[in-house]
Chain A
Amino acid sequence: MLRDFELDMPADLQETLACLPGGTPLAGGTNLLVDLRARRESAERLVWLGNIDAFRDIKIEDGQAAIGGGTTVGDILRHPGMERAAPALVDCARVFGGQMVRNQATLAGNVCSGSPAADSVPPLLSLDAELCLASATQVRTIALDDFYTGFKKNRRSPDELVTGISWPVPGPNTANRFYKLARRKGDAITVVGVAVTVTRDGNTCTDARIALGAVAPTVFRAKEAEALIIGETLTEERVDEAAQKAKELSDPIDDLRASADYRRDMVQVLTRRLLNQAWQSLGEKEAGR
């Protein structure tokens, strides 16, 4: 039995925002209901988001991708345009939870849960995603990169709802990948998650993102590692330097899934592997055109 709470069922966005001061948004419930049952969460009034019109819409146009605040991980997998608009996010969706959890879990809920192991966050960071936040009195956007302030802490105020997530669609010279290291492929908490984006012009890497999950209090971008490869040719040495730097920037913990040392080593291995794969996939494209 779940502990006692009230449940608001607002009919649209306006009503939802009016319920939020004092209410806790309930999306897929795959974090919230588990936490309520385990008595880690004590919300007294939940606000169901499932009646908001068009809240699961996905739009890909004019070089921008935008998903609604209620878009689920399953929606990402089923949308034919996502393969191009967010390759790393599709990599992530395939290994996220199990089928039922994927159909319930929303991206916004994943981002707001703020776990350092939240799998959609490295891909979304690697894509320069922005969140749209709305309250009854204002609407604002914030870069995901500026969202987290500490372990499970973020800049959303309690009366704000994440109404959408958007990012620029990567161009043809950009590769974007995610790898989740866990005890098994599906339905397992991430030991290390790495997402990379590489843009290649001829023999130069013109832009790069490296985002690391489950190795610090928040998911974060290894910006000093990115700086080591931007403007460079991704030779073995350059990639090794960036991977080494990513490892140094990680600050993981020991837990029952893996030791901190193992996590640090895996950051290096996976960063190196993904950068090489991304760079080479673009080389093949260049050669082929």
Chain B
Amino acid sequence: MSSEKAIAVQINGIGRELSAPANETLLDCLRRHGFFEVKSGCEKGDCGACAVQIDGEPVDSCLTLAWTVEGRSVTTLEGLNDTDNPHPLIAAFLEHGAVQCGYCTPGIMIAAEALLRETPEPSDDDIAIALSGNLCRCTGYTKIFAAIKQAGEVLRAGGNDD
């Protein structure tokens, strides 16, 4: 058996200690510790359901070993869903009906948040490139694109519109 150790990591701004064996992925480790907003899909980097941010960069947690995030900062969907200050993506997705079964949504929001930080006014092409690692089997993407654009507008105007 791989040896188990405790890793210190910030998750959504809160310092945590997670125990994990060497061969555990960050995806399995996070879900084992109750972070069920991180979804498991293909487990080989194709679908993006498991996306989280490490130090602000979206990565697939199914292709990340838990030990390698020691000392770093991990953001899951819940990190964007601060009840006092929810990310504008959340209202925009609701308003546009960009969520159907919702399985892809956590990963898509993680990818879209990083896009909007780098490119506040994304074109369709920018969004397509940013989301090319996120598969959605329900929506056909149109509403997702519209929601991301609207969230960008809200952010450019200086924050939440409600």
Contact = CB atoms under 8 A, between A and B. Distances in A.
Contacts of B25: 2, 33
Interface in B95-134: 111, 114-115, 118, 128-134
B25 to A, nearest CB: 7
Interface in A78-96: 78, 94
A74 B23 contact: no
A20 to B, nearest CB: 17
Contacts of A94: 129
Given A37-B44, A104-B60, A98 B132 contact: yes
A29 B58 CA distance: 15
Interface in A5-61: 5-7, 9, 26, 28-30, 33-34, 37-38, 46, 48, 50
A29 B65 contact: yes
A164 interface: no
Contact of A48 (B24, B59, B65, B132): B65
Interface in B42-70: 43-46, 48, 51, 57-60, 62-65, 67-68, 70
B1 interface: yes
B23 A98 contact: no
B129 A9 contact: no
A104 B23 contact: no
Contacts of B118: 78
Nearest to B24: A2
Interface residues of A, number: 34
A58 to B, nearest CB: 16
Contact of B57 (A33, A74, A185): A74
B23 A29 contact: no
A100 B2 contact: no
Contact-residue bracket for chain B: 35 or more
A6 B65 CA distance: 12
A276 interface: no
B43 A97 contact: no
A48 B64 CA distance: 11
A48 B67 contact: yes
A173 B118 CA distance: 32
Contacts of A104: 59-60, 63-64
A148 to B, nearest CB: 24
A224 interface: no
A74 B132 CA distance: 13
B22 interface: yes
A59 B161 CA distance: 42
Contacts of A3: 23
A4 B1 contact: yes
A5 B23 contact: yes
A185 B132 contact: yes
Contacts of B1: 4
